[in-house]
Structure 1
Amino acid sequence: MALITSAGVGSGLDLESIISATVDAENLPKLSKFTKKEQELSVSLSSVGAIKSSLSSLDSIMEKLADIDNFNKRTATVTQPASGDLISVSTSSKSTSASFDVEVIQLAQGSRAVMDDNLFSAPTDVVTASGGNLTFTAGTKNFSINLAAGATLEELRVAINDSDDNFGVTANIINDGTSSKLVLTSDETGLGNDLVITNDTAELDNVSTLANDGITQGGLKIAADDMADDAIIEVDGISISSDTNKFTNAIQDLTITALKESENNETAGLVVDVDKATVEANINEFIEKFNNVIDTIDYHTQIGAALNGDSAMRSLKSQLVNTLSSMVTGAGNFETLYDIGIGLSKEGDLEKDSLVRSLNDALTDSYDDVGTIFTAPDGIATVFSGLLDNYLESDGAMKFREDSLNAELKQLENDRSNHAYRMEQLEIRLRKQYSSLDVLIAQMKSSGDFLSGQLASLPGFTREK
């Protein structure tokens, strides 16, 4: 507010205090109401936010429990032998519960080609005087390199390893003291996938497995033990082979990866079962999140709290509790959530209840029916998700409530601004009014002083002392 600090100068009256007191009498009660209202709205908004956050947490676990895929998960428990890990296993939702013994007979390997003795004495020896092409093939994969005239054994090694098209062939040079040998290793595993190296000029026969004539062996040889081979495992005594160390559907809907060969016919024990641990953990989280929602609503609606007496919050709590009793069809002997070992305590908290049966017993004896209780079209999680969506979606009840409170806060801000303007105008009016009074009193005082002076100058006028 613009302040005029000269009021009362002419009259000698404390008009500033009078103006200030008048404005404060109008202003301070209103400001106090604004502050109180703002605090109430802010606390209410915070309370709604806390309840909304607890509902979001509950909705997250309900989405998991409403998804049948989370009940179809399977776990594979592998008991490895004392010598170390033989296998690793991954499951799918279609894996069947069963147990097996798995022995790894051999691991898959790629081929290894070694150069004959005394073909080259040093890595700097020239392998081709005129240049040419080499083609490397293993199974269905291949690549080629071009050697320039005068290329050395070392340059050949580098060209193989640096080829952008190389599918997995590694070249090394071994110096045994009398000669330098090229050694090629292919990572293309599987029986029949041996590395074959051909050329387009007989000058390169020494660095090929097959000579240019297409019949004679070249200077690179693959020993029997170095040939590409399959991996072999035995599942309950049944032999199974694979061109890699991964066995897909050797046991239907399972993937077994061989890690090392068994020692002394040792086996790994494999047990496939439903993933009860994860499901039970999800149900425990549901219990925790549900209780948190109820406790949060109770806290913010208790006597003295911001949402005390709020009918919308009472309705929300009622709907949540009533949903627990929803009847579910197609779940075998189970009809409600309470049938699978979950109940309400005397305090109204959801808890695992073993009076009828335990949750663990229900999961062990009727796992699929427990899944139905949550995931059926009329299942607990399905119904809860629908209810929570009504509150949490972008056009849901909680968003509407937050928008309403924020609108009130915005209006309160406008009211404050309008009130400040009115107080400013009030002070201006008061100053104008008191300014006139100030002038009038000053004039009267001046006139009085003049009259007193005139009277004092009259003959016979005496002033009492």
Structure 2
Amino acid sequence: MATSSINASSFSSGLDVVSLVSQLVAAERAAPDARLNAAQSKAQTRLSAMGVLKSALSNLQTTAKTLVGGGAVATPAVKSSREDLFTATAAAGAARGSFAVEVVSLAQSTKLVSAPMASADTILGAGDVDITVGSESFKVTLGSTGNSLGALRDAINNATDNPGVTASLVTESGGVRLLLTGNQTGASQAVSVSSPLISLSQTQAAVDAHVKVEGFDVYSASNTVTGALDGVTLNLVKAEPGTTGTLALTTDNSAASKAVQDFVTKYNQVLTTINNLTKYDPATKTASTLTGDSTARQAANELRAIMGGSAPGGSVSYLSQLGIKTGSDGLLTVDSAKLGEAIAKDASSIARMFGGEDGYASKISKNIDAMLAEGAGIDAQTDTLQARLKDISSQKDALDRRMTQVQARYTAQFTALDTLMTRMSTTSNYLTQQLAALAANNS
């Protein structure tokens, strides 16, 4: 609190006005200040606890989502025998197996080049340049000025309706050439130019990629090929007709096991967090920040109910069948060996068990969505606590203003008292002197 300055030298009665005022103000401020500080600390602690709980739930949901739809459990490991020719990625559910892949040709974009000219400043003249990219066209018009080779390049690149072609100048020993390059590959994105100002010849045609999978022809407008194999994306690197590589998709037991164990770890972290925030020590009669909080308690109960139930997966329906058991503290433990055996035996069933519509991970993710929704328990409590802290801050400001007024009032009162006491002291000294003089005369 800002306090006004009191100059002790201005008091002549000997009364310690500064000390008296400070002590009185401090005494009057102590009770409301302690009350507000306690309320502020409690609100901040609860707000922080809500943040910790929300973070733990969000981390669990993030991990759960990696299993939804089969996720990491159903995603096969991918291996290309010729990564210099092609690589691949696979989504959850992609069929396991070994496939022959031959990259016949890569997808290309159109390249058109002009005859060499003296320089970029070579004048082309006034007129139109019509350019077509696939099914779209646009026009560039050069006027009576600003109609050089360089100006045409800039006009093409700066055209707001340019659907996908880039103009460049290439300087070689014979002069400067205008090069037009299509921004997209594939036969459907071919580029052509019509103009009386300049003539361009094609140095590279726009063509689709051509790949053979198990000997069957597949064409793609880009070098990223999807749809040839369900759930698999081929990334073509180099064409080498007649050379066949092998694409192997196998169950990645270690990755699947790790995904499940990560999910269990995050689940345990949420329950541990809630337990730490809500526990009560009867020996010391000490409560935690969220002891008795219904939102935290409900969150724990709902998560336990989901993980303690069943989830249809096919050959498996319960966590215990995977070597996952619930301890006396409510936390899950994983028998890694048994989990690995279960995945190796039937990974697809375990993928459905966690990632299916009614799978553990899917239900957990949906449940946390509801917990963290706007207006739900955690969000509502967070809003209430933030409003409470804002109100406490306003009360503290009001207390500061009131104490400033109190200090001013006390200072004025004690200043008046000091003045009165000084006058009385002066009068007393005068009377003493007069009486002494009278006594001396009488003697």
- The Cα of 1:270 is off from its aligned counterpart by 4.4
Structure 1 residues 28, 378: closer, same or farther in 2, change over 3 A? closer
- The Cα of 1:423 is off from its aligned counterpart by 3.4
* One-letter code aligned to 1:268: L
2:372 corresponds to: 385
- The Cα of 1:79 is off from its aligned counterpart by 1.8
- 1:242 matched to 2:249: no
- 1:60 matched to 2:41: no
- The Cα of 1:280 is off from its aligned counterpart by 5.6
1:438 corresponds to: 425
Extract unaligned runs of 5+ from structure 1.
10-14, 150-154, 209-219, 457-465
Q: Is the 8 A contact 2:140 2:155 kept in 1?
A: no
Given the alignment, which residue of 363, 367, 376 partners 2:351? 367
2:48 corresponds to: 50
Map 1:253-268 onto structure 2 (within 5 A). 254-262=232-240, 264-268=243-247
Q: Is the 8 A contact 1:107 1:260 kept in 2?
A: yes
- Percent identity for Structure 1 against Structure 2: 14
1:341 corresponds to: 324
Aligned equivalents of 1:28 and 1:166: distance in 2? 75
Q: Is the 8 A contact 1:323 1:383 kept in 2?
A: no
2:272 corresponds to: 291
Q: Deviation per CA, 1:171-191: give whole Å up to 9, x if none.
A: 9899999x9999987677556
1:326 corresponds to: 305
Aligned equivalents of 1:355 and 1:197: distance in 2? 65
Q: Is the 8 A contact 1:41 1:409 kept in 2?
A: no
Given the alignment, which residue of 386, 407, 414 partners 1:420? 407
2:81 corresponds to: 81
Aligned equivalents of 1:131 and 1:23: distance in 2? 90
Aligned equivalents of 2:12 and 2:126: distance in 1? 113
Aligned equivalents of 2:67 and 2:417: distance in 1? 76
* One-letter code aligned to 1:109: Q
Which structure features the higher share of helix residues?
Answer: 2
1:448 corresponds to: 435
- The Cα of 1:233 is off from its aligned counterpart by 1.8
Extract unaligned runs of 5+ from structure 2.
119-123
Q: Deviation per CA, 1:404-453: give whole Å up to 9, x if none.
A: 65455446535644543453355246436634643553354234323422
2:293 corresponds to: 315
* One-letter code aligned to 2:385: M
* Greater RCO (CA < 8 Å, at least 6 residues apart): 2
TM-score, with length taken from structure 1: 0.61
SS of 2:234's equivalent in the other structure is strand
- The Cα of 1:86 is off from its aligned counterpart by 0.9
Structure whose CA Rg is larger: 1
Given the alignment, which residue of 205, 210, 234 partners 1:232? 210
Q: Is the 8 A contact 1:245 1:257 kept in 2?
A: yes
- The Cα of 1:54 is off from its aligned counterpart by 1.1
Q: Is the 8 A contact 1:97 1:272 kept in 2?
A: no
Aligned equivalents of 2:374 and 2:113: distance in 1? 71
Aligned equivalents of 2:50 and 2:438: distance in 1? 80
Structure 1 residues 58, 300: closer, same or farther in 2, change over 3 A? farther
Aligned equivalents of 1:183 and 1:386: distance in 2? 55
Count of aligned positions? 414
TM-score, with length taken from structure 2: 0.63
- The Cα of 1:110 is off from its aligned counterpart by 4.8
Aligned equivalents of 2:21 and 2:182: distance in 1? 94
Q: Deviation per CA, 1:130-163: give whole Å up to 9, x if none.
A: 99988666754566778999xxxxx889957964
Q: Deviation per CA, 1:190-247: give whole Å up to 9, x if none.
A: 569877677789xx9xx57xxxxxxxxxxx688xxx7654322233443312243233
Query: Which stretch shows the higher mean deviation, 255-264 or 279-288?
Result: 279-288
* One-letter code aligned to 1:291: T
Q: Is the 8 A contact 1:246 1:256 kept in 2?
A: yes
Aligned equivalents of 1:338 and 1:435: distance in 2? 95
